[in-house]
Structure formats: structure tokens, C-alpha cells
Chains A and B, each alone.
Chain A
């Protein structure tokens, strides 16, 4: 079984998000980058599914050379090899096209991503790759089991879940529940240095979106504190002032 896992290089979850250049660029100063947490879940499941000689896991990232430490982290967690498509990731459409171009003649049985990247929160790449490759895509999965050529998947829906099967090649985006994220051990970290990391060129594709500006949420006013023994006045405020109940 050959599995391809798509990983994003994203700001650490504790990052305070600010912008520069008249709010047109993300301020990268002092930002620590990590493997997107959802992609780590996807990678961890891929490793579980291929453990004990049952297959191989390749990770792919679309980005510039600065992403290599993040890719090495994925190798340390346990991927066998890595590919970086050497281009700034313009938008999900661009990234998905690059991944599809790489994967189209490589015969991967399964392609996994995280449910979304924690920077642009698109949840677009998996389904776009599925469309470019004309294979089924399943978004936001909670569970993945593979038996021969058939996978059984649980997908989240509003207020519940859907259980479905898919035969043959597919791509899925993974959410919490698919696997516990694996933490690299010392052996993993040492071997990651020498595992193959191929760099390939990007293909051209038309531009369809462009971020022109960022905004941060408007600050809220000062909190109105209510004494703990006057819960009825909170109910009153929510009813008559905030008008939400």
C-alpha cells in the first residue's frame, strides 16, 4: 500500500496573528512553524496503516526551501520519503494542482490530508486534488479502516456521522479521531536527516483567487461583570440588553 500525505507548514497554534504592509501580508516575524496539526493526524494514521512492512508513506509539501525543517519533522514522525514542490503556495487551487500533477502517475492507493490548514482554513485541497485526479474524495473524516482494496470511513455530518465505503483509489481529509498524533522519537529524528527529500518544479496554472487584505476581529468592549449571587440579572441582561434569549 502506497500512501501520500499532504502537509502544510503553518504558524504554531499559539501564534498571535498580525499583519504588515498595510495589512496585506502576514507578519512572519518571530513566528514558529509547525506541521499543520490535522496533517499530523493524517500522517499518523498513514504510518499506522503501513507499519510492519505493509506499505510506504510519502509526504508532499508545496512550498519554498524554508519549509524543509517542517518536512523533516514529518520524516521524523515516520514518513519514508518526502517531496517538496518548489513554489510559494499561492492558494488551494494552485497547491491542489501541484499535488495532483505529482501524484497522477505515481500509483498511490490512498492520499490523505488534514481537514484544513490552520492558517487559511480552506478544507479545499483534498476535494480539489480528488477532482483533478478524478477519484473519490471524502472530507472531514473521523475514522479510517482499510481492508484490502476497500476502505471504511466515518465522516462527520451536522449532529451525527455517516459511515461509507470506498473501493480503489481515493483521497480523504482527516479530523480528530482518525489517529492520535505521533511524537517523533530520537531514532526518528536521527533517521529523518538522511531520508530522501526530493525537490520538484511547479507547473503553471491560472490564478483564480488573490488575498488583497487582512482584517483582525473588532475588539469587544469591556466585560460587564455580574456578582455570582445575581445570576437572575445575567438572564435579564441576555434577554433585554443582548436580546439573545
Chain B
């Protein structure tokens, strides 16, 4: 019995959400009085792999086969499941990232395991192995019992936090047979905006809606986000009108996020939008309509015209930083 955590690399580096998944997996390993092993696939330097020890991984399996340098969903799932079997791991933890969402279900089927995705807390230890996960697009949580012997958990970013737990990580090369049929998808191109904070991982988010009147007015939103080191987001009408890309749309039919701070500017707060952002830790709403439903779920609010308030907010933030 042990816990295995998959650590997703991007260009040879681990992101905060990975260290968070390792921290979470270590806490589960402690609950179960067992060890935590991490598995990394792709080109990652030993110095970076050693970092995983900081958060409690006592062993790191390093898979660096040529055909697995870039993400192949099916093959990665096979390798992770093979590692779980070889290590005798009955709990597999991943980050609920875009790639994690593709991997976790395949691993679950391979291991005949129940899957809790979008986990937001540690499993319960009252005899049943239950995990609290988001449901109804953030409108509720489902306490899901994993009744199978093997279990897979995909942790939501920002749900658990990074917790240091210094251990010396032993790095071991790991190889697993990959079938030709596992290599059916071929990556042609990866486009990554390196100058921007990625929305699903962001701790701070500045979001704007129809109240901004047009895409030409997003300059101040980007300036505010830039000053804060925040990601930008938008409401559905804005992405539907092509003012902003779909990847920025948060809400029930966009993406759900749980940043530490969500600033909503010119967004009224329809139930579908609130669903995607209600697990934000602190919500600030700026809207000229004092009756906007968003104020009911906000921690801080300013009733005022975005075109007057946001430039003042930028000035105040500059003064605060100086």
C-alpha cells in the first residue's frame, strides 16, 4: 500500500499546482501511514525532481523515454497505471489540470478504481473513504465515497495549498512498455502565452463583463491585472461576442476557478456566472447598479461606474506598491 502522485511538467518545470498535488498526496499518505512516490514523465532535470522532496515525496520515478517527451494521453495513462501496480500504490493523485482531466479517467478504468475529480479537501478518515468534490458547476459539493479497492483523486488547483514537508527524494529511472496503439495522437504544435498568468492556476483574477461596453476598453482591465500579477477573465456574453477569447470565460459553461481574489468589474452576477467563481476566497464587485445580484455574494463592493472606478483603483494600487 502506498500513494502515487503524478507530477505534470511543462517545459521541464513543475508549477505550483504540482507542488500542491504533492502536498495533498503527502497528507493522504500520512493519513494512511504509508509513503508517497511521485512519477514524472518527460525531460526534467534531477535538480527539479529533487524539489518534490520538499513537499513530502520520498521517491521519484523518472520516465524519460523518447516517445513520451510530449504529452500522449493514452500512453501516459498506461505508464502511470503500470507504476501504480508496480509500486503497490492503491491511491493515485493528480492535479485536476487540463491534462489531468484526460488522464485520471483512463487510469481509473485501468485500475478498476473509483475516481473523485475536482477534490477540494482531504479524504475523510471515518472508516469510509469519502472525498468532497465540486458538483453542479460550483453550486454544490458532492461527498463521494470511493468504494473500490483502488482510488484515483484529481485535486482542484488552489483547493489545498502548498505545504512543505522536507524529505530527501530518491530519484529512480522508471520504464514501462508502451504499446504502439497507445501512441495514436501526435502533437504538432504547442502554443503557450508565457507573458500571462494562466487562468486556472491564477491566485488573483481580474474579470470584466458587458459593463465594459466593448473590447477596446480592456486596456484598463489588463493594466490592473498586470499590476496585481493577476490573470484576466470575462463573463459569457463577452466571450460570445468575441470581445475576449473563450478560454477566458468563467462560469457554468466556461471554466470554474477558485482564486484567492476575484475582482468582477461590470458583471451583474447571473447564477451561471456565480457558479464558476463562488469558491473564490475573496470576491470584490465593482458595478454601477447597486441592485446587481453579484453584491449579494461579494466580500467587498464598490457601487460606481467602471470607467471612473478602475482608473482610480489603478492609481491607488500604484501608490500602494510605491
| A residues in contact (CB < 8 Å) with B | 11, 13-14, 16-17, 19, 37-38, 91-93, 96, 118-128, 130-132, 134-140, 142, 152, 155-168, 170, 175-177, 206-217, 220-221, 223-229, 231-232, 234-239, 242, 244-245
Contacts and interface: CB of A to CB of B under 8 A. Distances in A.
Given A137-B102, A217-B140, A176 B146 contact: no
B118 interface: yes
B278 interface: yes
B167 interface: no
A92 B300 contact: no
23 contacts: A11-B136, A127-B77, A131-B110, A135-B184, A138-B73, A142-B247, A159-B194, A159-B196, A160-B190, A165-B185, A170-B185, A206-B148, A208-B115, A208-B147, A210-B144, A211-B144, A215-B132, A216-B139, A220-B283, A223-B301, A228-B302, A231-B309, A235-B317
The 5 A-B pairs at the shortest CB distance, nearest first, are namely A228-B304, A159-B198, A208-B114, A139-B102, A127-B105
Contacts of A207: 147-148
Contacts of A159: 192-194, 196-199, 201
Contacts of A239: 320
Interface stretch (B29-37, B214-222, B290-298): B290-298
Given A165-B188, A212-B145, A17 B112 contact: no
Given A212-B144, A231-B316, A157 B192 contact: yes
Contacts of B145: 209-212
A235 B284 CA distance: 11
Q: Is the interface of B mostly helix, strand, loop or mixed?
A: mixed
Contacts of B194: 159
Nearest to B251: A13
Contact of A224 (B189, B278, B299): B299
Nearest to B288: A228
Interface string B160-198: 000000000000000000000100111111111110111
Contact of A170 (B116, B184, B200): B184
A85 B142 CA distance: 25
Interface residues of B, number: 102
B305 to A, nearest CB: 8
Given A157-B190, A208-B114, A226 B300 contact: yes
B93 interface: no
Interface stretch (B46-54, B55-63, B84-92, B253-261): B253-261
B68 interface: no
A235 B320 contact: yes
B172 to A, nearest CB: 27
Contact of A137 (B106, B191, B313): B106
Chain B CB within 10 Å — which of A96, A159, A167, A168 has the most?
A159
A244 B297 contact: no
B130 interface: yes
Contacts of A128: 105-106, 108-109
A213 B143 contact: yes
A224 B285 CA distance: 10
Given A93-B108, A121-B134, A231 B313 contact: yes
Most buried by A among B77, B108, B309: B108
Given A131-B106, A209-B144, A238 B300 contact: yes
Contact of A214 (B104, B114, B141, B261): B141
Given A139-B98, A142-B246, A209-B147, A245 B252 contact: no
